Amino acid sequence: MDVEKASAAKKVKITADKTLMVLSGKGGVGKSTVAVNLAVALAESLGPVGLLDADLHGPNVPKLLGVEHVRPEVRDGKLIPVETPYRVKVVSMGFLLPQRDSPLIWRGPLKMKAIQQLFDQVKWGKLDLLVVDLPPGTGDEPLSVAQILGGADGALIVTTPQELARLDASKAISFARKVGAKRIGVVENMSYLTCPHCGKEIDLFGKGGGRKLAEEMGVEFLGSLPFVPAVIGAGDRGIPAASLEEVREPFVELALQVWEWLNREPA
Ligand SMILES: Nc1ncnc2c1ncn2[C@@H]1O[C@H](COP(=O)(O)OP(=O)(O)OP(=O)(O)O)[C@@H](O)[C@H]1O
Ligand SMILES: [Mg+2]
């Protein structure tokens, strides 16, 4: 892929100290869960944190934060991000679709335009951190976001431990390199389940794939998250795991690790 020629989206001046794209090769590996919980965990100690849901076809972020029925205000012709109870401001295509089950049937150029508008038609205000949740793969949305953010300060690749996810994730890493992400890191999600009976760790999808991928591709391994059954129900109820005392620890730990990495000189 020739990113230079692939065109279109123009850089937008974002007043965020740090910008982070959350990507993956495969669908369903936990990008939205990671993006939402990173934003929530970091908003506790940072100033304003923005979360842009750039998954146009499957915008899940409003639901994960319990604000899917909110309609954002428009002021001076610009969209005001939706404030959540977690001090994270959110913008998502999900807020703009007429109904929750309305499908979006758009070709590439329209999608690029929509992404562009989610940046420059929104009053983001000054942010300490902008997290962008992306759809799986390396299509129009990730490309537009990467171009708009000038590569972004960090590209976080989410993977699960098994071989198949790893192979796809390596494509996302190559993509992040091509679009000039300043740092690339890997997070392994659903790494293990702690047995509720004996407390032993069960490797649901194999072991160590995220770290291996990072080593093979020469990027940073930022940590892993366990499979936490409570995360699923909490997500369905619009409560992020990072706000739940019983399960928040690994999410907060990962968030701090990511923030430290974003503020370190790129390798
Ligand atoms: N660490 C975890 N423990 C338990 N369940 C998880 C975990 N991470 C994600 N899940 C669950 O897995 C499902 C998929 O997660 P999520 O929607 O975050 O993935 P995604 O990569 O954003 O998917 P898509 O590619 O469709 O955007 C959700 O039901 C979510 O609650
Ligand atoms: Mg998602």
In a domain, 85, yes or no: yes
Mean pLDDT of the chain: 90
Asked if 71 contacts 80 with a C-beta cutoff of 8 angstroms, the reply is: no
Percent of the chain predicted with pLDDT > 70: 93
- Is a pLDDT exceeding 80 seen at residue 12? no
Give the pLDDT band of residue 10 (cuts 50, 70, 90): confident
Residue range 246-265: mean pLDDT, rounded: 95
Distance CA 250, CA 266 (A): 24
Instruction: Report whether pLDDT(7) > 60.
Output: no
Q: Is residue 5 part of a domain?
A: no
Q: What's the confidence (pLDDT) of residue 32?
A: 97
Amino acid letter, 91: V
On whether residue 177 sits in a domain, the answer given is yes
**So what's the pLDDT on residue 249?**
95
Q: Which amino acid is at 59?
A: P
Within 13 Å, how many C-alpha atoms sit on residue 171's CB side? 13
Q: Which residue has the tokens 């970091």?
A: 42
187's tokens: 């997070």
Average pLDDT over residues 2-6: 42
Q: Kindly give the number of the ligand 1 atom that is closest to the alpha carbon of 135.
A: 27
Protein residue closest via CA to atom 16 of ligand 1: 30
Q: Ligand 1 test: best mutation among 23, 24, 32, most atoms within 8 Å of CB? A: 32
Residue 5: pLDDT band (50, 70, 90) is very low
Residues with CB under 6 A from ligand 1: 24, 27-33, 55, 58, 60, 135-136, 189-190, 225, 227-228, 231-232, 235
> How far does the centroid of ligand 2 lie from the alpha carbon of residue 125, in Å?
25
At 260 the pLDDT is 97
Residue identifier of the C-alpha nearest atom 23 of ligand 1? 28
Cβ atoms of 20 and 157 closer than 8 Å = no
Closest ligand 1 atom, residue 133 Cα: 22
Q: Is residue 134 part of a domain?
A: yes
Q: What is the pLDDT of residue 3?
A: 41
Cα separation, 43 vs 49, whole angstroms: 6
> Could you read off the pLDDT of 60-101 as tens digits, one per residue?
999 999 999 999 999 999 999 999 999 999 999 888 876 666
CA 259 vs. chain centroid, Å, equals 14
Compute the distance from residue 78 Cα to the ligand 1 centre, in Å.
31
Q: Is residue 3 part of a domain?
A: no
Instruction: Give me ligand 1 centre to Cα 258, in Å.
Output: 19
Which residue CA neighbors atom 30 of ligand 1 most closely? 232
Q: Does residue 111 belong to any structural domain of this protein?
A: yes
Percent of the chain with pLDDT over 90: 70
| Half-sphere exposure in the Cβ direction for 92 (13 Å, CA) | 34
Question: Which of 62, 72, 49 is closest to 100 using CA atoms?
Answer: 62
0.85 exceeded by pTM = yes
Q: Given a cut of 70, is residue 2 above it in pLDDT?
A: no
What's the pLDDT at 235? 87
Count of domains for the chain: 1
Considering only CA atoms, which residue is closest to atom 2 of ligand 1? 227
Domain ranges, residue 47: 11-263
C-alpha to C-alpha distances, 125 to 41, 48, 81, 95, nearest whole angstrom: 20, 9, 9, 19
For residue range 122-157, what is the model confidence (pLDDT) as tens digits? 999 999 999 999 999 998 999 999 999 999 999 999
Question: Who has greater pLDDT, 16 or 220?
Answer: 220
Q: Is the pLDDT of residue 8 over 70?
A: no
Sign of the CA dihedral running 64, 111, 28, 249? negative
The pLDDT score that the predictor gives to residue 222 is 97
Ligand 2 centroid to residue 247 C-alpha, Å: 20
The answer to whether residue 1 is domain-embedded is no
For ligand 1, atom 12, which residue shows the shortest CA distance? 30
pLDDT at 6 (0 to 100) = 43
Q: Which ligand is nearest to the CA of 241?
A: 1
153 alpha carbon to ligand 1 midpoint, in Å? 24
Per-residue model confidence (pLDDT) at position 1: 38
- The Cα 127–Cα 85 span in angstroms is 17
Helix axes 209-217, 163-178, angle to 10 degrees: 40
CA of 8 to the centre of ligand 2 (A): 24
Q: What pLDDT is attached to residue 267?
A: 73
**Centroid of ligand 2 to alpha carbon of 33 (angstroms):** 7
User: How do residues 158-204 score in pLDDT, each as one tens digit?
Assistant: 999 988 888 899 999 999 999 999 999 999 999 999 888 998 988 88
Does some domain include residue 66? yes
Instruction: Assign residue 113 the CATH number of its domain.
Output: 3.40.50.300
DSSP state of 73: -
